[in-house]
A = this chain, B = another copy of it.
Amino acid sequence: MPVVREKTNWCGWGWESMRYDFRGHRDYFLRWIGERLGVDALGTRIPPVAPGSIELPAIRLGPSDLAELGAIAGGDGALFTDPRTRLLHAAGRSLPDLLRLRRGEVPTAPDAVVLPADEAAVIAVMRLCRQRDWAVVPFGGGSSVVGGVDASDPSGRPVVTLDTTRLDRMTAFRPEDQCATFQAGIYGPDLEASLAVRGWELGHVPQSFEFSTLGGWIAARSSGQQSNQYGDIADLLVSCRIVTPEGVIATWDGPVSAAGPDLNQTLAGSEGTFGVITEATVRIHPKPAMHQIQAVLFPSFAEGTAALAAIVAAGLRMSYMRLSDEVETETYLKMSGPKLVQDAGLSALRLLGYRDRRCVALVGTEGEPDTVEREVSEAIAIAKKHRGLSLGASPAKNWHRDRYLHPYMRDDLLDAGIATETHETAVPWSRVAAVREDVRQSIEAAAAAQGRRAHVFAHLSHSYPTGTCIYFVLMYAVDAADPVGQWRPIKAAICDAVVRHGGTISHHHGVGLDHKPWLIHEKGATGLRLIAGARRAVDPTGICNPGKLIDL
């Protein structure tokens, strides 16, 4: 098992040793959020069980099967059946995953975990699984928050989890064609490090950056924090190789083709249900000379939204563009402790009428200094037309520094009995206000039906000429008796509200198990049939990541 996974938290986000410390303001924030939710968060402590106490499902593959699988997967060190490896590959990092894991509930786990070291071994594993009718669950960083890598098969076949993280090398660097080729199991930091030494970068930074892989990004159609400038991973994808039960597909390696449907865009988002992505060529660019992010305060979310739409419409290529709503703005201030309000000089704003409905936006970009300076100042000028007040670079620096840390907060809050769920969608600009309001009300109603309060906030995280991504965060006090049963109607309320307004069930998290019931609202019955037909052609027995995304 690659070293990186050994040091990760078996029931939470990221490194085992890492905690989100709220920069020393944990008690302050817990008191505040507890008051909002009507619970004593500060006085609550519900730690996870000891992992050694967990009973995993029995392994259903016999010794000779395992020996054969191990041999074709690459021999020594290519197959694992020990409890810790199985546990670390049992689930992803969705809220229900964490709720179950913390209680020691592991309903499904891989019967074996294989770590092939090259594509030939992936092909051999796929062939054997096809012959034996074993499920194959591709597993990159395992950071799915939608049940995308659960080691489960609805039809009950044995599950082989295929961990791709040994496929971790750059295989071609072609600056003249502005692209580079990597094996698909490479983690974000390793990918960027191999480009950085050459002065180049990919610039794809999802929040999971440290714990997700190139193949996972493609399989789940990932977006990153700078996708506004560089495009999401589907835009950055030049070509890829995928091992399916019916053979390898190598998509065309070139800029643009009119020769039939775009295979890259069919494989991107296939979430392991078509096979295992083993390699990809992606567009890269020289490392930008500088970046600049400015914070802007808007008196209302509506004005901030209009400003972002106008900035995109003006063709300004902001790599960072994020607008927090009133509640998120307040929540982040509370997370930063009592002093930040004064530090940022925000108290004076009360006089200007920015007090209660204020929304902070971050706007910035990177590139050549001249271009960055010009485009950021043009963006700020547009923001001003929408009553945006420039706060300078300092608030943005805090966000940029902490941008990979926020997922850790979920685990700290779970210790205090507070669940944090996220859900994101995208809609045309004209539907932003309605969907935001409906989702918030739906969450509050679903919580109220359980006799609870919910704390809901949102931000716009990725903006396009035709619309934007809305990212919701909600916090509520966990029902210790049945946390997953409590979560389910809340999740359903969100998804129902999103599709009611024509929002996508996911802008960048994917579908997996959790969003699958709502996919039909987006694709339609005939659209789902088309995708299933494509899958059936390459995975006729449905062994690839069964149960996720789409059925045959």
Contact = CB atoms under 8 A, between A and B. Distances in A.
Nearest to A313: B178
Query: Which of A223, A260, A427, A507 has the most C-beta atoms of chain B within 10 angstroms of its own C-beta?
Result: A260
A538 B526 contact: yes
Query: Which of A254, A430, A469 has the most C-beta atoms of chain B within 10 angstroms of its own C-beta?
Result: A254
A367 B258 contact: no
Contact of A515 (B174, B259, B526, B533): B259
A530 B263 contact: yes
Interface stretch (A240-248, A386-394, A445-453): A240-248
Interface residues of A, number: 90
A467 B428 contact: no
Interface in A495-552: 502-511, 515, 519, 522-527, 529-538, 549-550
Contacts of A466: 177-179, 238, 254-255, 283
B523 A263 contact: yes
A352 interface: no
Contact of A254 (B244, B271, B504): B504
Q: Oligomeric state, in number of copies? A: 2
A399 interface: no
Contacts of A462: 256
B426 A255 contact: yes
B178 A465 contact: yes
Given A248-B526, A532-B537, A258 B220 contact: yes
A221 interface: yes
Nearest to A271: B260
A467 B510 CA distance: 30
A232 B261 contact: no
Nearest to A312: B178
A464 interface: yes
A253 B506 CA distance: 13
Contacts of A549: 260
A172 to B, nearest CB: 11
A317 interface: yes
Contacts of A255: 426-428, 464-469
A254 B315 CA distance: 19
Given A259-B523, A260-B523, A261-B268, A428 B254 contact: yes
Given A177-B430, A259-B510, A259-B515, 18 more contacts: A176-B428, A176-B429, A178-B465, A244-B530, A249-B527, A250-B527, A251-B523, A253-B428, A256-B504, A257-B505, A259-B505, A260-B269, A261-B265, A263-B531, A264-B265, A530-B534, A533-B533, A533-B538
17 contacts: A221-B258, A238-B466, A247-B529, A251-B527, A252-B504, A252-B522, A254-B467, A254-B502, A257-B506, A258-B510, A258-B511, A259-B511, A260-B269, A262-B262, A263-B523, A315-B371, A532-B537
Closest 6 CB pairs of A and B: A533-B537, A265-B265, A255-B467, A221-B258, A257-B504, A247-B526
Interface of A: 174, 176-179, 220-223, 232, 234, 238, 244, 246-271, 274, 283, 285, 309, 313, 315, 317, 367, 371, 426-430, 462, 464-469, 502-511, 515, 519, 522-527, 529-538, 549-550
